[in-house]
Structure 1
Amino acid sequence: MRKTTMLLSTLVVLPLAMPVVADTQWPTQDVTLVTHSSSGGGGDVMLRNMGRTLEQKFGINTVVDNRVGGSGAVAMSWMANQAPNDGYTILSVTPTQLITPLRAPGIPTYQDLTPIARLLTDPTTLYVHENSQFESIEELLQHARENPRSLSIGIGSAGSLDQLVLQNFARETDIDVRTIPHEGGGDAVVALLGEHVDAVIGEPGQALTHLESGTLRMLAVFQEERLETYPEVPTLQELGYEVISNKFRGVFGPPDMDPELVEEIGHTLRDIVNDEPWKTYWGEGSMTPSYLGHEEFTEFLHVANEELREFVEGLQ
């Protein structure tokens, strides 16, 4: 059986950093946190939790700047061409910042910016509304096979990792569904809450409140092991479908940043791992701290970019 693995070979999970007393010179002033996600999307939620943690720990202010559009192209272009490179404007990144330039040449790539650090890895899951007729992933698959293109599955944005996961999920399970892109994961969740789509592929964190309340129901996990926070939800691998995806979350800066400042920012973000509300954010979202500093993160991106290049080319 074909095994479709996204970014798994480049996933290195490191032990949790122990809390330390902050002695860094970053941050000493207000920080702008940029995301391509709309309000409530994965990047937006991540930065709001990061911002509150930095505010409480360092006594500074933060603002989240949502630069939505073009599956990350708007935010990447602004960071590459207009953002100040003094270390106080940083961009949240996921595989979207690799995939979009691969699909649309001319958009700034990770090599045009400054990779600062990888912070977390985030599982990909599939969930439905509580009113859904599907109580299990097997029921959804059976219905999809018997009724081609009858199901609509929402994703965060066109050209995102979620779309690539969905396309491989459909191939591996031999189903034909309609892909419904949105302006971010938060918007996809809103569509599901309104029952405008039948299911959503995305990370648990962007739907956490609704999953906890039971308004949404998780049916499957796209990784090798079940999530500790949702032990009742099976992996696709258990069912014989080896579509595996782990989304990385990190931060970039503008081009030509001072290397010492890049290291300082990375170390600060590494060392808040057990501070609140950051710890609760990644814990409740079933994420794994997996810090890589600038050099290691850059090497990781080289490998991941080639994986995704082959993947994107194979879908065309």
Structure 2
Amino acid sequence: MKKITHTLSVIALSVASFGSMAAGYPTRSIEVVVPYSAGGGTDLVTRSFVDVANQYLPKSAGVVNKTGGGGAVGLTEIAMARPNGYKIGTGTVEIAMLPHLGLVGWDATSFTPIARLNAEPAAVSVSADAPWDTFEDFIAYAKENPSAVRIGNSGTGAIWHIAAEALGDASNVTFSHIPYNGANPAATALLGGHIEAVTVSPAEVVNHVDNGTIKILAVMSDKRLEKFPEVPTLKESGVDLSIETWRGLVVPNNTPENVITVLSDVAQKVTSNPDFTQTLEKMNLTPAYLPADEFQDAINKDNAFFAQTMTKLGLTN
């Protein structure tokens, strides 16, 4: 009986200590995991967020890139982290995609959303010296030369891979899909002539567009982008396809409510701060804040959409 009483006392003390630690959160630095390489859109959004968030946090947050598996490595680290608020991360649309490939041991319900920060459509981009000046020319060549067009993506099963697969399906074209550990390496491969196109977001190639080394042929959105008004949508070319990525702050399930409250409050302040929104806009990234409940609804909607889409494309496991 004494042993049982002692055990219960230890458990109670541990719970009390954890609760006390959470109540004073944060008492030490916070690690923010980015599941993609430095320089890509997810990395840029996260670093911009953290820079401003540190104005509101009593202890600093820092970014750590954990790449691999089309986001699987980093997202798994976030999902499996100790739920105390000291290892959090940037969740991406792959949360609603990778589980359907059977490559991860978690699903879309394995994360607690804090806030969505940004959303971007996919785009079809080629090198500036490519022989195609329009999307129609590009697709015509791909149809005449099955599998000759190599499209780079940010990893097998990641959003830009699915965008390219869906593009091929909607256009009745067969592409060769080449995975990289993030959008930035894919764009670098395009510049090096190792592939013919990428289906990453406009923001992830904008610097190359500005310096005249890459051109965007079409965007996968419902309407033209304000920042790229000269670039047509796929729908204008008769391809009914819209696909976007999103990035937002997420934590492991079972994170204490008071920690979630702190992070949610910081996220709301950051996304209302011009230092954050203007930084994103300067990088041609689109601020797209959603609070936790609306962010959860968006995740649920995408989870259902990609389950259906990936099944149709024969990509589910």
Percent identity for Structure 1 against Structure 2: 27
The answer for the alignment partner of 2:254 in structure 1 is 256
Paired with 1:211 and 1:191, the residues of 2 have a C-alpha distance of 15
Q: Which of the pair is proportionally richer in helix?
A: 2
Aligned with residue 128 of structure 1, among 116, 126, 129: 126
Q: Deviations over 1:260-292 (max 9, x none)?
A: 321331232222225355223432454443322
The answer for the alignment partner of 1:75 in structure 2 is 74
1:188 Cα deviation after fit: 0.5
The answer for the alignment partner of 1:208 in structure 2 is 206
The answer for the alignment partner of 1:48 in structure 2 is 47
Q: Deviations over 1:78-123 (max 9, x none)?
A: 2233x34332322112211221111116522232222212222112
1:256 Cα deviation after fit: 0.8
Aligned with residue 267 of structure 1, among 251, 265, 275: 265
- Whether contact under 8 Å (1:122, 1:286) holds in the other structure is no
* Secondary structure class of the residue paired with 1:310: helix
Note the aligned Cα RMSD (angstroms).
2.2
- Whether contact under 8 Å (2:37, 2:65) holds in the other structure is yes
Aligned with residue 156 of structure 2, among 155, 158, 180: 158
2:70 corresponds to which letter in structure 1? S
Paired with 1:206 and 1:27, the residues of 2 have a C-alpha distance of 33
Aligned with residue 287 of structure 2, among 276, 289, 295: 289
1:258 Cα deviation after fit: 1.7
Seen in structure 2, the aligned counterparts of structure 1 residues 127 and 281 have a Cα distance that, compared at 3 Å, is: farther
Whether 2:183 is the aligned partner of 1:179: answer no
Q: Which runs of 5+ in 1 are unaligned?
A: 1-24
User: For the pair shown, which has the larger CA radius of gyration, 1 or 2?
Assistant: 2
1:228 Cα deviation after fit: 1.0
Paired with 2:203 and 2:25, the residues of 1 have a C-alpha distance of 27
1:262 corresponds to which letter in structure 2? I
Seen in structure 2, the aligned counterparts of structure 1 residues 277 and 135 have a Cα distance that, compared at 3 Å, is: farther
Seen in structure 2, the aligned counterparts of structure 1 residues 306 and 212 have a Cα distance that, compared at 3 Å, is: same
Q: Deviations over 1:50-97 (max 9, x none)?
A: 22222356575332111112222222322233x343323221122112
The answer for the alignment partner of 1:64 in structure 2 is 63
The answer for the alignment partner of 1:169 in structure 2 is 167
Paired with 1:277 and 1:203, the residues of 2 have a C-alpha distance of 22
Aligned with residue 195 of structure 2, among 194, 197, 205: 197
Paired with 1:76 and 1:155, the residues of 2 have a C-alpha distance of 18
1:253 Cα deviation after fit: 0.6
Q: Deviations over 1:188-245 (max 9, x none)?
A: 1111121211111011222232122222111101011111111111111111111111
TM-score (norm 1): 0.84
In the TM superposition, 1:97-136 aligns within 5 A as 97-104=95-102, 106-136=104-134
Seen in structure 2, the aligned counterparts of structure 1 residues 307 and 125 have a Cα distance that, compared at 3 Å, is: same
TM-score (norm 2): 0.84
Q: Deviations over 1:140-169 (max 9, x none)?
A: 112112222221111111001212211121
The answer for the alignment partner of 1:30 in structure 2 is 29
The more displaced of 284-293 and 162-171 is: 284-293
